[in-house]
Amino acid sequence: MKNLDVYKTTWENDEVHVNVLFSAAGVGTTILLTSKFTGKMMLLDVGDGATRDLLASQENSEFINEIDLIAISHGHFDHVGGLYSLFGFMRMLGRTKPLNIIIAPNCKEVIEIIRGYRELHRTTLPFKIWYHEISPGSDFDTDFFKVKSYEVEHYSLEHSSDLEDELLEPAHGFRVQVGGTIIAYTGDTRMCSSAEMVVKDADLALIEATRKTTPESGRRVHLSTEEAEKLGALAREYRLIHTIPETK
């Protein structure tokens, strides 16, 4: 039996509680931000098992209505795989508030999941699901969370030698302001200037550190631990997430 705690971490200050419910490359990443003043919640990515992990992290099921906003970094399965289940759980327990989801422009996977779900349940869905394609550099604010999006560089395939630019995923990193606190999340990215802008001076930076070592050649898809730590030094505090799970 493996200990899954290595894929989870928490952080908090007076204003916000950050709970990395789970983050492992190729499995799932789900991060929950909770405003301590309002109780409102925001999700950064919704990986496989998100509903189960939300239930395990809460005293009750208030998250059904208290999730105010979801930001999806990109459409890879390990970042969106739990959306369908979360919608189903919210529908089953009667969420009524509209659910806003912000994505990079043309993030097809999320658009397909949302459109398909709305169509399947169009007469019995008690809440609206809206997606917003946010152009890089722009903001999306709710009454509780202020989000700035940055276009990071993340390729679709890792082991190809002739990747074309069209294989660059629509991928965003985010800076989320809760009160006066800035939480940064790189999403999946290789080292790039946008990733630096995402994490710079953040109170907490959540940084993908998929690779244990930095490859000497080839197209870079992810950060290595060394690169992620360099980025982390730009923030006040940081946590490395999205590591490759042990499979042996």
Question: How does DSSP assign 10-48, residue by residue?
Answer: EEE-SSEEEEEEEEETTTEEEEEEEETTT--EEEEEE-T
Complex with Zn ion: residue 112 or 139, whichever CB lies closer: 112
Complex with Zn ion: residue 168 or 197, whichever CB lies closer: 168
Structure tokens at 149: 């999006």
Q: How far is the CB of 128 from Zn ion (least distance, A)?
A: 28
Complex with Zn ion: residue 34 or 224, whichever CB lies closer: 224
Distance CA 68, CA 115 (A): 20
Q: How far is the CB of 184 from Zn ion (least distance, A)?
A: 18
Complex with Zn ion: residue 154 or 175, whichever CB lies closer: 154
Q: How far is the CB of 42 from Zn ion (least distance, A)?
A: 20
Structure tokens at 180: 């006066």
Which residues, 6+ apart, have CB-to-CB distance to 30 below 8 Å? 20, 21, 22, 23, 43, 44, 45, 46, 47, 49, 50, 53, 54, 82
Q: How far is the CB of 74 from Zn ion (least distance, A)?
A: 6
Q: How far is the CB of 76 from Zn ion (least distance, A)?
A: 4
- Which positions touch Zn ion (CB under 5 A)? 76, 188
The amino acid at residue 77 is F
Complex with Zn ion: residue 64 or 152, whichever CB lies closer: 152
